Structures are given as C-alpha cells and as structure tokens.
Structure 1
Amino acid sequence: MKRAALALILACMASAHAAETFTVKEIAPGNFVHRGHDDVATRENGGDIANIGFIVGTCCVAVIDTGGMLAEGRALRAAIRARTKLPICYVINTHMHPDHIFGNAAFKQDHPQFVGSFKLAQAEASRADNYMRALNRELGDEAKGSEIIGPTKTIDGTGTLDLGGRTLKLQTWKTAHTNNDLTIYDDKSGTLWLGDLLFVQSIPVIDGSVLGWLDDIPRIKQMNPRHAVPGHGPIDSSWPVALDAEARYLTQLASDVRAAIKQGKTMQQAVDSIVPEQGDTWLLVDQYHRRNVTAAYAELEWEQ
C-alpha cells in the first residue's frame, strides 16, 4: 500500500512539473508549437523530446502529436484549455515513434478522432511491446498511464479535416523516416507540420528508407510553405536551409554506404568506418549515426 501511494505521489509530481514547465509558442495564427528537448528520452526530461502542438479553428481544435508520455499529453491539453474551450476534434499522429504518441491517452476524455497514416496501426502494433518496455525502462514510474492508442481515422494519400474556417490537408509519403509518415498543412496560415521528415540541428534518424527520404525532400520543397514545423529542433529556423542540410547528410550517407558495399566491407565494417562529414554540426551523432549506417546498408546491399 505504501509503495502504491508513493508511486501515485511521484506520478502526480511529474504531472505537475510537466505542466509548470510546459510552454507553447504561436508560430502562425492559430498554430501553437511546444519545443521538445534536443536529447534522447530520460527521466530528467520526461520523454519531452519532440515538437508537438495544436491548431485552432472556429469550431474545434486539432492536436499534432502528443509527446512521450501521459504527463506531457496532459500538459499539452492544459495549454490548449488555457487558450480555448473549443472541443478537441482530432488528435493527429505524424508517425509511430514513442516520443510522438505516448501522450494520446490524455485526450481520451475528449472523444476525438485519432488520425494517422493507413500504415500507422500495423506499425504501432508490431512494436508495441518493445515500445512499452523501453518507455518503462527510460521513464519508470513517471510513464504510468501512458499507452498506445491507434488511429480511428486513417489517411491513404491525401485527406482533409475541417476545423471551422480552417482546412487541414493531410498527406502520406513514400517510406522515409518511417513507413507511416504523415504531414499536415494548414492552408489558412501556410503552415506545414512535417513531423520527423524534418530534423533541425539534431541528426536525421532513419527508421524507413534513405532513398525514399531523398525522394520525398524535393516534393516537400515544392509545397513551399510560409512556415514549417520540424519534428525535432528549433522551430524558428529557415526550413529550406534545414531541409538542404538534411538532404546533404542523407546523400552523403547513401554515397558512403554504397562505396563500402562496393569495397566488399561487411555491415559492421561500414558502421565502424563511416563518419558523417561535418558531424560536429549535428546533435546526437553518437546516438544515431551508426544506426543510420546500419539501416542504409541493409537497404542498399542488394541494390541493382
């Protein structure tokens, strides 16, 4: 009983701390973004490492990703309620990664439609056990109540959501960061929410296809939004500059991996020998570059 009471107290303290430190910025009319930490998920940052936020129409609100655990989702909901009493109609997940979805449960009381790519549910289901184990390992008791809530509305290609006086255009993409990437474009403000198709300063992470990502980038550029929200990193940077930097890293990675394969190097030899050019300009290189080499090698090894 004492242990259960202590766990409850700790969970309440974590939730209160998240609410106190949680801030959002209106980057364009009706578009509010919370800037995550440039880090991996830890107990110190509460899994708050992704950029998440919401869009307000005249009839209702759409949430864009919900953070790395229930407490962060609750802090996001509190930030919404501090600005509007309009109903929360949609919770949109840009892809399946834990730092973007584990706050979903904070919005169950609003009975929204949970929206994602048509590939999202299968991707979440196939990794659910691993994600939950990692969440409990990294965040411990603070993660209590966090859960994966799959989509109730899916997008295959393109779709629209009406918030009242504001239409959101949703689009799925070729496998890139993941196989279930989804972007949201607010036509009224010209704001494009890119999820993890755009990393700023933090190194891009491949959990899908390096070649697909490189194919997607020119299509993103053609959309030419007035504002763009990255999945990670500063929200006030020039998106064309950031997208070009991302493309350079991915292009060099593919080139280096192809060269290693041509030289007959094993995957481990490639991982040990390939270092990113201007690696000191990226954050979290040590955590993710070797993983990116592994993913690219597996993809390109049998390339014709």
Structure 2
Amino acid sequence: MPIDPTRRRMMKGLASVGAAALPCCFAQSVLAATGAEFTLREIADGVFAFQGVDELMHPGNEGAICNLGVVVGSDAVAVIDSGGSMAEAQAFIAAITAVTSKPVRYLINTHVHPDHIFGNAAFRALGPTIVGHQNLPAALEARGEYYLRSYREQLGDKLMEGIEIVPPTLLVEDMLELDLGGRVLQLKAWDAAHTDNDLTVHDPTTGTLFAGDLVFMGHLPTIDGSLLGWLRQMNRLAGIDAVRVVPGHGPAPSEWPDALEAERRYFEVLARDLRLAIKEGTPLAEAVKTAGRSEAPNWALFDDYNERNATTAYAELEWE
C-alpha cells in the first residue's frame, strides 16, 4: 500500500514513543522485545482487529493476550483497548498509522484488567479522550497500584517500564454515542458480570460488536464480578443487532450471537454443580475442585481459572 505524505509524517513521529511501522495491506508491525508479528486485520469496512494469544501474560508474549480493535470514520478513529504493555501498545500504534492518517480521537477501555489497559500511556502523545464505564475510575483507583506491583513479577521490569494507570475522562453511565464522522459507535455500560465495569462497543454501520471480556471463546471465561449478573444479561447481550463479534479473547471476528453458546454452557454447568454442592453441604474448599470440571476439555487455561471462578460463584450462589 503506498504511504501518503501525511501518513509518512505520522509514522516518523512514532519514533518519539519507540514504535516502528512496516507498511503493508493489513498494517503489520513488530513487537519490540520479541520480534513477534503484530497483525491488525481488516474484518469489515474500516474495522480492524488484533487477536491476542490464549496465554497468561509473560515476557515472551509481551502481555499481548487480549483482542484489540480500531474503527475508522471519515473524520477520526476510535481504538478499543490499548494492550498489556507499552511494547504492545507501541506496535499497535504503528499498525494503526499504517492503515489510516486520521487522528485517534477516542481510546475506549472495555474494563479494568491489565491486559486491556496497560498500554494507555503509550497513546498519550496522540491525544485521544479515554472512555470507560462509570465504575472504571474507582476500580483503577482500588487496584491500580496492586496491578503495577504484581505484574512486575509476571512481566519483568523491562516490560513494565513506562506503564501508568491512566483513567478515563469520559464516562458511560448507560449508553453513549461517539461520532467518528459518517460512523457512530454505540457504547453500552453493563451491570456487574465479568467485572463491575464492563463496556461494549457496537458499530451498526458494519454490524460489528466489540464485546470486551463479556465474551470469551477458547480461553476460559473469568469471573471478577458476578456469575448471576452475567447470566441475567446474556439474553440482552445476545440481542445486540450485530453479525460479527470481536470477543475479549478468542477468534476475531466470530459469528454473532453464536459466539456466546460455549460461554453460556460453561456458566450453566458451573452454577448447576455449585448449587448441588451447596444443597448437599459440601464445603467451598471441596466444591471448587470439582465444580465445572466436565468443561475442562473445552477451554484453554481451565486449570488456571476454574477454581477461582468457582470460589467467586460459590460465595454468590450461597446467598441466592
């Protein structure tokens, strides 16, 4: 793809944040520390996605474990999540610059978890308004320092360099529309489910939904909010008029609403097993070892997260 002069100037400017851009039709760039390829793929007209790996965050993947998105309007760009490290975010910025010279007006954070927000500071030079759920600032205030300490052990000092907790300044209480010029995004704030600060982004122009971690595929869903809240909102989530979804983790894109089926099944199995354990008086410490176990073959990272999910859900279901 030929690079116009404006785009070339923007690419040169990325040197100030340490990014390097490689022009090609799908905006490929290189993650600084590992040389791994960062590919931003066009999944609909003016809509791009990066697919993370189904792994825990570690130096080898530079925190690039969640899916990221870009939507380009006639006037401006919206970015969905910033990634799990400054290295990933810098590669992401380079990839964005390779597909458009329009300004990044919005950086939308779908929720509080580090793999989605640790790259926020890298976007500062581009000057976007950071957008998030109304509960996100409080969640970042409560957890931010802990995340910075604990992930230093997980990612190492080099990858944690430059990472800051940067909160949103534009908050979504229920619904909010963002006009990119000829393309209006619909943002929805959800009740407690994956977290208490989940936000989705819907592009009606192309029928594309960026679901954040309200949708997991392949990677076991993780409950940091409310199992019952997630289940209660599942039908409303499925009712969003989209044809494709970019889940927080998993194939990007996937068909909608089919993408919800495996997640819903896992939650229903987990809830069924825990309700039975509670009814039979099985202590939490024993119940969490077996609840949901039949789902193990269907999910990556099952052993990393299932007992944690079961512990959270047991406490909630005990008080139904």
TM-score tier after normalising by the smaller chain length:
over 0.9
Q: Could you tell me the TM-score, scaled by structure 2's length?
A: 0.88
1:244 to 240, 253, 261: 261
User: 1:232 & 1:275 partners in 2: Cα distance?
Assistant: 20
1:221 to 238, 241, 249: 238
Structure 1 window deviating more from structure 2 (63-72 vs 236-245): it is 236-245
Give the superposition deviation at 1:134. Answer: 2.1
Give the superposition deviation at 1:231. Answer: 0.3
Secondary structure in 2 aligned to 1:271?
Answer: helix
Q: Is the 8 A contact 2:19 2:91 kept in 1?
A: no
Q: Is the 8 A contact 2:247 2:253 kept in 1?
A: no
Q: Is the 8 A contact 1:249 1:276 kept in 2?
A: no
Secondary structure in 1 aligned to 2:39?
Answer: coil
Do the aligned partners of residues 228 and 210 (structure 1) sit closer, same or farther apart at CA in structure 2, a change above 3 Å counting?
same
* Pair 1:183-2:182 in alignment: no
1:31 counterpart residue number: 47
Q: Is the 8 A contact 1:18 1:75 kept in 2?
A: no
- 5+ unaligned residues in a row in structure 2: which ranges? 1-17, 21-29
1:173 to 178, 190, 194: 190
User: 2:273 & 2:166 partners in 1: Cα distance?
Assistant: 39
Task: After TM superposition, list the pairs within 5 Å mapping 1:144-223 onto structure 2.
Answer: 144-223=161-240
* Pair 1:77-2:90 in alignment: no
* Pair 1:47-2:53 in alignment: no
Paired residue total: 293
2:125 counterpart residue number: 109
1:260 counterpart residue number: 277
Q: Cα deviation per residue 1:3-45 (whole Å; 9 max; x = unaligned)?
A: xxxxxxxx99995246761111111111110000110101111
User: 2:223 & 2:295 partners in 1: Cα distance?
Assistant: 18
Q: Is the 8 A contact 2:177 2:186 kept in 1?
A: yes
Give the superposition deviation at 1:259. Answer: 1.1
Give the superposition deviation at 1:236. Answer: 3.7
Q: Cα deviation per residue 1:214-269 (whole Å; 9 max; x = unaligned)?
A: 11110111113011110001114333333011101101111111111111122111
Q: Is the 8 A contact 1:98 1:131 kept in 2?
A: yes
Give the superposition deviation at 1:81. Answer: 0.7
User: 2:238 & 2:267 partners in 1: Cα distance?
Assistant: 16
1:129 counterpart residue number: 145
Amino acid at match of 1:285: F
Q: Cα deviation per residue 1:200-227 (whole Å; 9 max; x = unaligned)?
A: 1111110001111111110111113011
- 5+ unaligned residues in a row in structure 1: which ranges? 1-10
* Pair 1:98-2:120 in alignment: no
User: 1:239 & 1:137 partners in 2: Cα distance?
Assistant: 37
User: 1:91 & 1:189 partners in 2: Cα distance?
Assistant: 20
User: 1:84 & 1:19 partners in 2: Cα distance?
Assistant: 23
User: 1:148 & 1:41 partners in 2: Cα distance?
Assistant: 17
Task: After TM superposition, list the pairs within 5 Å mapping 1:62-73 onto structure 2.
Answer: 62-73=78-89
Amino acid at match of 1:267: L
Secondary structure in 1 aligned to 2:303?
Answer: helix
Q: Could you tell me the TM-score, scaled by structure 1's length?
A: 0.92
